[in-house]
Homo-oligomer: A and B are copies of this chain.
Amino acid sequence: MPLTELEGAALGLIWSRGATTAYELRKLIAESPTPQWSASAGTVYPLVEKLRKGRLISVSITEDKRGTRHLHIMPAGKRAFKTWMLDCSPAVTGVPPDPVRTRVRFLEMLSSSEGTRFLAESERNLRSQLARMRPRKGESWSESLASLGARLSQRKRVEWIIKVRKLGRGPR
């Protein structure tokens, strides 16, 4: 069966970094520009176990008392990862959901003053999120392309909400 987004990303991280721990995986995922992905312990550890059971990764345990578990990608894991990468289904290429967009869809349900306040707050928060999204040093080539994409996307959301504010002044 196909990999989920998180499984694909986890496999990619394990592959690109060589020996990784589940703990590191969590932090890497949390650092990603998308704040929706929290990758809590309750997600990552069962996920790692599932990948291991499916023989997509192997686990080596250190000899010391702590017994840190390092994850390694296996041949089947590489194949599964590539299949996931090359998947261009509508779920991948279709417009991603946007909670602000969903709310704007119902803008007309608010009173004029509520709507104005909502749009002002939204613009402010979209902007402050954007400001936080600086490219990090040490980013690899493809990481920087991805984080560029995240910034462009967020900038477009800001431009759009400004347009909404302008258009909103008309029909109300």
- Give A residues with C-beta under 8 Å from B: 5, 8-9, 12, 15-16, 33-37, 81-82, 84-86, 88, 90-110, 114, 117-118, 121-122, 124-126, 128-129, 133, 140-143, 145-146, 148-150, 152-154, 156-157, 159-160, 163-164, 167-168, 171
Contacts and interface: CB of A to CB of B under 8 A. Distances in A.
A18 to B, nearest CB: 12
Contacts of A145: 104-105, 107, 164, 167-168
B12 A98 contact: no
A167 B141 CA distance: 10
Contact of A98 (B96, B103, B110, B163): B96
A105 B153 contact: no
Q: Is the interface of A mostly helix, strand, loop or mixed?
A: helix
B94 A36 contact: yes
Nearest to A125: B93
A114 B36 contact: no
Contacts of A106: 9, 12, 16, 81, 85, 142
Contact of A141 (B15, B93, B102, B108): B108
B5 A99 contact: yes
B121 A37 contact: no
A98 B5 contact: no
A93 B129 contact: yes
Contact of A93 (B81, B126, B159): B126
Contacts of A163: 148
Contacts of A97: 5, 34, 36-37, 96
